[in-house]
Structure 1
Amino acid sequence: MQLDLNLLAALDALLEEGSVAGAAARLHVTAPAMSRSLGRIRRTTGDQILVRTGRTMTPTPYAIAVREQVHELLHQVQGVLAPSRELDLATLERTFTLRWHDSLVALSGPALLAAVRAQAPGVRLRFVAEASTDTPELRRGEVDLEANANRPSAPDVHAEHVGETRLVVVMRQGHPLARVRTLTAKGYAAADHVTVSRRGNLTNALDDALAGLDLVRRVVATAPTEAAAFAFARDSDLLISVPEATTRSAVADLGLIALPLPIELPSAPVYLSWHQRYETDHAHAWLRGLARSALAVCGES
């Protein structure tokens, strides 16, 4: 049997998108052409791959079983067939999409953008907001680099620990606790708090640590970004507990102060993540190096 490697790419797209139309758009072919590819795949494998259930299509047990294997095989084929050429940054024209935590964009984004513009003026960066739920854009190639505190669990997503930062307590300069010589866990818990959570979570690991000390804090609000939380703290007696590295500009620009967190808690990690399809991509590797350097500030005191 003569194998067509184009079917491997089509199968991967069909399994990732879960529809003929989505797979066609991903591979920039027409829907009828993708439908014909699905027919050939069905004849080759002897399996339906996708079956219609109402208005959607559902992968068969066989399709689910081979999904990761197909993804890995396609990656290997692309690595073998991709031409190896020198990277000319002066003429490189490419747009990279970066999904970073908003505090990391504010902290490290300017340095990354300056380095990119100096070395490759034809490269554009698209910083997009984090989603409130886990999304597959990294695997689908719609996002090139992620940077946040979460290590991805998908086996085909690579992650590198690029820094970490301890938590501090931020408050306005006129806050009653600002006059306390040493902030205690009891005093910290007795104050009102605002948490930073894109998903609107009122509790986090800090509450678990306080519970171990038989203490409970009162969270009166959540904010979707640290910038919003800093505005709350500036105009009220609310406390915010955030990574130290992200407070530097806020402390200077908004007249806030930062005190050490009076609770033993591990430092917050920063991970840089990308899909394995870009592991040998020279331009992507160059951008990863610049991002790694820009994010290294998170580990500085």
Structure 2
Amino acid sequence: MQLDLNLLSALDALLEEGSVAGAAERLHVTAPAMSRSLGRLRRTTGDQILVRTGRTMTPTPYAIAVREQVHELLQEVRGVLAPSRELDLATLERTFTLRWHDSLISLAGPALLTAVREQAPGVRLRFIAESATDTPGLRRGEVDLEANASRPTTPDLRAEKVAETHHVVVVRREHPLTRGGAVTAERYAAAEHITVSRRGRLDNALDEALASLGLTRRVVAAVPTEAAAFAFARDADLLVTAPGSTTAAAAGPGLAVLPLPLDLPPAPVYLSWHQRYDTDRAHAWLRDLARTALARRRGGDRIEA
């Protein structure tokens, strides 16, 4: 059977985009042409690949099973066919998916996008939110770069610490902590707290630090993002402990930033990717820009487990 490598590109695009129109736009072909490619793929594999569910299309179990393998094969083919091709940023057309912690998107995302648009106007960035559970997006090729406080432990994932920051206390300007002298560990523990946790945890390393001093705190709520925590703090006498890198966002109307009266180690931020992209010139270029954007913003963050 004669194989057409163009079908491999079409299959990869269809599985990532989840639609004929999206895959056509990604590969710069017409929707009818991509629809014909899908038909050929169905005849070749004997599987429907994508099936319509209401207004969307859903991958079949077979498509889900081969998605990672297809992506890796395509990367290998590209590496074999163009091992020494120089990276031409002016003509580069590619979409990168970045799963970053929400505060890092706010702090360093704009600088990264500006640098990308200046150097490679054909490149698009797709920032996606972190999941409440750990997902193998990097290993499956669904995510190009992650940025958060977690260092991957599997050997096929690379990680580089690019920044770190210390924590501060964020309260509304009328909060009792803004009056009556220095913020002590006792006054800090006596306040009502709101935690930031994408998994909804009510405790974290702060409780261990307080326990070492014989102190406990009362956490009244947990929210998934710092932006949400700051919104709560603006309307009530609630205390948010956040990385110092987010103080620019916190120093909006009605909020005050105070020193944290606890000795906590600085919180790191790691940039992570799969080893398949180690020699990918375009990916290496994006990593350099992301590293610079995160370091300049001192975008370290402590992600609540």
Quick one: structure 1 residues 81 and 195, their matched pair in 2 at CA, closer, same or farther if it must change by over 3 Å? same
Contact 2:193 2:238 in 1 (8 A): yes
Q: Which amino acid aligns with 1:288?
A: R
Which stretches in structure 1 are left out of the alignment for 5+ residues? 1-5, 14-27, 37-55, 58-69
Distance 1:32 1:106 in 2: 45
> Are residue 163 (structure 1) and residue 163 (structure 2) matched?
yes
Matches of 2:227 and 2:299, distance apart in 1: 21
What is the TM-score of this pair, normalised by structure 2? 0.73
Aligned pairs for 1:115-130 (under 5 A) are: 115-130=115-130
Query: Retained in 2: the 8 A contact 1:75–1:277?
Result: no
Q: CA deviation at 1:180?
A: 3.4
Q: What is the CA–CA distance in structure 2 between the aligned matches of 1:230 and 1:77, rounded to whole Å? A: 46
Q: Which residue is equivalent to 1:3?
A: none
| Paired amino acid for 2:214 | D
Letter in 2 for 1:95: T
Q: CA deviation at 1:31?
A: 7.2
- TM-score when scaled to structure 1? 0.74
Instruction: From the superposition, tell whether residues 76 and 141 of structure 1 become closer, same or farther in structure 2 (CA, over 3 Å).
Output: closer
- Identical pairs, percent: 64
Structure-2 separation of matches of 1:300 and 1:202: 24
SS at match of 1:213: coil
Aligned residue runs from structure 1 range 207-286, under 5 A: 207-251=207-251, 253-286=252-285
Is 2:90 the counterpart of 1:107?
no
Q: 3-state SS of the aligned residue for 2:107? A: helix
Moved more, 180-189 or 98-107: 180-189
**2:142 maps to what in 1?**
142
Structure 2 match to 1:202: 202
- 2:268 is paired with a residue of what secondary structure? strand
Residues 158, 273 of structure 1: 8 Å contact kept: yes
Post-superposition offset of 1:257? 1.2
Matched residues in 2 for 1:160 and 1:109: separation?
18
How big is the shift at 1:115? Answer: 0.6
Alpha carbons 1:79, 1:280 under 8 Å: kept: no
Once the two structures are superposed, what CA deviation does each residue of 1:62-117 show, in whole Å capped at 9, x if it has no partner?
Answer: xxxxxxxx9xx989966973522111111110000000000000000010011111
Is the 2:171–2:234 Cα contact (8 Å) retained in structure 1? yes
Residue by residue, what CA displacement relative to the aligned partner does 1:135-193 show, whole Å, maximum 9, x if unpaired?
A: 11111111000000000111100000000000101001111111132111111000000
Aligned length: 246
CA distance, structure 2, for counterparts of residue 298 and residue 152 of structure 1: 23
For residues 102-133 of structure 1, what are the alpha-carbon distances to aligned partners after superposition, in whole Å with 9 as ceiling and x for unaligned? 00000000100111111111100000000111
- The equivalent of 2:30 in structure 1 is none
Instruction: Give the distance between the partners of 1:300 and 1:144, measured in 2 at CA.
Output: 19
Deviation per CA, 1:258-294: give whole Å up to 9, x if none.
1111111111100000000001000000000000010
* Contact 2:159–2:273 under 8 Å retained in 1: yes
- 3-state SS of the aligned residue for 2:241? strand
Secondary structure of 1:234's counterpart equals: helix
Q: Is the 8 A contact 1:185 1:262 kept in 2?
A: yes
Inter-CA distance 76–86: structure 2 relative to 1 (3 Å threshold): closer
Q: CA RMSD, aligned part only?
A: 2.9
1-side partners of 2:255 and 2:296: how far apart? 21
